[in-house]
Amino acid sequence: MTSKSIKIAIAGLGTVGAGVIKILEGSKQVLGHRGGSVAEVVAVSARDRSRDRGVDLSAYEWCDNPVDLAGLDTVDLVVELIGGSDGPALALARETLKRGKAFVTANKALIAMHGRELAELAEANDAHLRFEAAVAGGIPIVKALREGLAANTISGVYGILNGTCNYILTRMEREGLGFDEVLQDAQRIGYAEADPTFDIDGIDTAHKTAILAAIAFGQAPTLDGMPIEGIRNIAPVDIDQARDLGYRIKLLGVANRTENGIETRVHPAMVPVSEPLAQVHEATNAVVVQGDYVGQTVYVGAGAGEGPTASAVVADIVDVLRGSGGPVFGVPVAELQTPVTEEVSGNPGTYYIRLSVKDEPGVMATITSILGKEQVSINSLIQRGCAVNEGVYIVMTTHETSESAVKAALSHLTEADCVLETPTMLRIQVAGTQ
């Protein structure tokens, strides 16, 4: 054992905070070996002092206000597990970094919204800023991108970043259930929040995508200009069609280097069953990275939960113990690129379209004519079963086209008399394409 010791304060004592304390206390010696110095919890803060968390807090200093942790002379490193992009989490981050102390967080919203400012503070005050737990839980993907693949120019990174959505999609596929039914069940068993908006509407995935893009491409994290679409509109018929066509539907966060700069987006997509991401089920997360030298690498693991998140937080702490440095987002803040806030590439690729139409003569001619006018060329077309109001579903996949062309066609289709519902569009995501 070495004699050097780093003193830690933890703000937020939910299951993850308690997990971090358990690991730090339970593995003191081995962590000391791995980090070359000892991590010692000295202070904590949480809303409710009296709650039983399964860990003994009596030896730690207690602060009612988490921001006070940063000011304690005894504290070298603050772990923030409060959550929220602003409020006490942001105040604590600023105060900690201003004092030149290390800041470790699992807070994706905080880093996605204020990453640039905090990285600037970290740099100006020579302080560590770490957030492995903010993306994909226990999978060390931030480290892999920042360090493991440091030799590479990354052309793209995308993945399944939200366990709740993947759990819902998996159950819809396996059990043939509708979205609402599975969501309610997921809420009942604790796999979805009472207010599931952040998860199912893609905001959580967007935060994580912004962070991955920042590290992969050396740009400030931002949600500005990121098209974000969740999984609310996925119907059982889409899941069935995906299966018939050899795909699975997954909610993806995508960040690509394009001729016009870095483009990011969040949307459900059809993933070929032979691709690694199609094999990722339930609440598991997975990230695919394409680098110029390394080629494609894939990282799979639990995306959330006490153990995986605490594992990532403690890995960050051990990195601080080891004195592992380097710029927060891979390049100094002054060199961070300005993100592209307007999508201009038109998002080339192939698409899945589902229409609910009247079952009457001439409909197919109307549809194909509208698609043709927008230069959207049909690869496969299936008419099936009954849809609403005695209509039928028409399900198509396109040849290579652009998202803008498909959207223009869908806008005309929506106006056509024969189309009964707002059309559904899903991108077909193939590895190696953008």
- Rounded to whole angstroms, how far apart are CA atoms 365 and 87? 56
Cβ atoms of 383 and 355 closer than 8 Å: no
72 among the known binding-site residues?
Answer: no
Q: Which among 22, 98, 101, 208 is annotated as catalytic?
A: 208
138 among the known binding-site residues?
Answer: no
- The full length of the chain comes to 434
**Of 349, 328, 314, 291, nearest in space to 211 by CA:** 328
Cβ atoms of 69 and 43 closer than 8 Å: yes
Helices 163-175, 236-245: crossing angle, 10 deg rounding: 80
* Least distance to its own copies, CB of residue 311, Å: 4
* Least distance to its own copies, CB of residue 10, Å: 14
* Least distance to its own copies, CB of residue 240, Å: 21
Cβ atoms of 149 and 291 closer than 8 Å: yes
Closer by beta carbon to its own copies, 56 or else 126: 126
| Positions in the binding site for its own copies (CB under 8 A) | 19, 23, 27, 30-31, 33-36, 132, 137-140, 143-144, 146-153, 218, 274, 276, 279, 291-302, 305, 307-308, 310-315, 318-319, 322-327, 330-332, 335
105 among the known binding-site residues?
Answer: no
* Least distance to its own copies, CB of residue 347, Å: 26
Closer by beta carbon to its own copies, 87 or else 323: 323
Closer by beta carbon to its own copies, 335 or else 360: 335
Strands of 142-260 (E only): list them.
154-160, 247-258
306 among the known binding-site residues?
Answer: no
405 among the known binding-site residues?
Answer: no
Closer by beta carbon to its own copies, 279 or else 433: 279
- The residues, ordered by sequence, that sit 6+ positions from 305 with a Cβ below 8 Å of its Cβ are 137, 283
* Least distance to its own copies, CB of residue 312, Å: 8
Annotation marks residue 208 as catalytic: yes
Tokens describing residue 372? 């043709």
Token pair 């960040």 in the structure block, residue: 255
**Of 153, 133, 108, 84, nearest in space to 253 by CA:** 108
**Of 164, 141, 189, 394, nearest in space to 288 by CA:** 141
282 among the known binding-site residues?
Answer: no
Binding residues for NADPH: 108
Binding residues for NADP(+): 11-18
Binding residues for L-homoserine: 193
* Catalytic positions: 208
